[in-house]
């Protein structure tokens, strides 16, 4: 009888932990389980970002750097306006935003908690315009808005480390925790149990990013055009099949974006269409 009572108390305690870690993502309404404190994830993010920037060459191109900062600032402002009107708290509270363009031929960009956004110069020829750049920056900032990295890290703690608290993991398994952080934020490669969640996150960030770029005054139709260019660029190149990729296949992503355009256009019209912006 005592054992049964103890099991019930343990189960209730576990349920309270789960409920305490649950939240709802704005716009999509998806329920999210996350046990990583923002203070810890932001501290780890700033450390990794500092190491990255110190080992990278920041672009000296004033015009292109200004464009990156302009796009990032407008999208952040749109997210904060949305949050003020629709959410109980600002998900970017306390963030100190930085937008950097680094000299790197890879077609890439990333955003990290704490407000650190990096665009690689290799992305600009594919983006072609400020609006094309907004497609990618909006997507990356959407990951931060939705706390996808923290959610992934929570899943990793449960699957790989038996659910121990992140503060304890940092003390007892610092290297493993650091690797988990890097994987959670797309800075590593992992194929396994967590892969489907990552594809879910990518699709959710596509939807959120489309809305955020529209709210910032950028035509969301450009997202479809941008990914069509990406699909053309990847033709004939070796790439993993969709089942082993953290990103949806180009065809899947384009189809999903086309379906999401009507929703995003509602935000675009409300923001006031500014049209296509000049090429960099």
Could you give the residue numbers annotated as active site?
140, 206
C-beta of residue 277 within 8 angstroms of C-beta of residue 247 = no
Closest CA to 69 of 126, 120, 118: 118
Backbone angles phi, psi at 121, to 5 degrees: -60, -30
Q: CA–CA separation, 280 vs 192, rounded Å?
A: 40
C-beta of residue 249 within 8 angstroms of C-beta of residue 226 = no
> Which residues are registered as beta bridge partners of 110?
118
Which residues 6+ apart lie within 8 Å of 169 measured at CB?
Answer: 157, 161, 176, 177, 180
SS3 state at 161: coil
């Amino acid at each position: 009888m005592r054992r049964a009572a103890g099991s019930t108390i343990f189960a209730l305690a576990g349920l309270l932990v789960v409920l305490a870690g649950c939240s709802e993502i704005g716009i999509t309404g998806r329920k999210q389980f996350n046990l990583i404190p923002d203070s810890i994830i932001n501290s780890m993010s700033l450390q990794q970002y500092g190491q990255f920037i110190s080992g990278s060459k920041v672009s000296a191109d004033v015009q292109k750097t200004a464009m990156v900062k302009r796009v990032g600032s407008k999208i952040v402002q749109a997210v904060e306006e949305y949050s003020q009107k629709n959410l109980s708290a600002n998900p970017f509270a306390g963030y100190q935003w930085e937008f950097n363009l680094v000299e790197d031929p890879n077609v890439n960009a990333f955003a990290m908690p704490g407000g650190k956004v990096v665009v690689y110069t290799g992305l600009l020829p594919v983006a072609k315009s400020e609006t094309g750049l907004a497609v990618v920056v909006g997507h990356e900032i959407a990951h931060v808005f939705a706390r996808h990295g923290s959610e992934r890290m929570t899943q990793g703690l449960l699957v790989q480390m038996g659910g121990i608290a992140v503060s304890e993991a940092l003390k007892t398994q610092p290297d493993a925790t650091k690797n988990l952080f890097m994987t959670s934020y797309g800075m590593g490669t992992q194929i396994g149990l967590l892969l489907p969640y990552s594809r879910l996150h990518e699709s959710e960030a596509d939807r959120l990013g489309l809305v955020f770029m529209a709210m910032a005054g950028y035509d969301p139709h450009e997202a479809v055009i941008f990914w069509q260019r990406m699909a053309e660029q990847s033709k004939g190149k070796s790439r993993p099949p969709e089942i082993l990729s953290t990103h949806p296949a180009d065809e899947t992503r384009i189809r999903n974006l086309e379906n999401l355009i009507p929703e995003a256009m509602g935000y675009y019209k409300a923001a006031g269409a500014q049209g296509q912006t000049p090429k960099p």
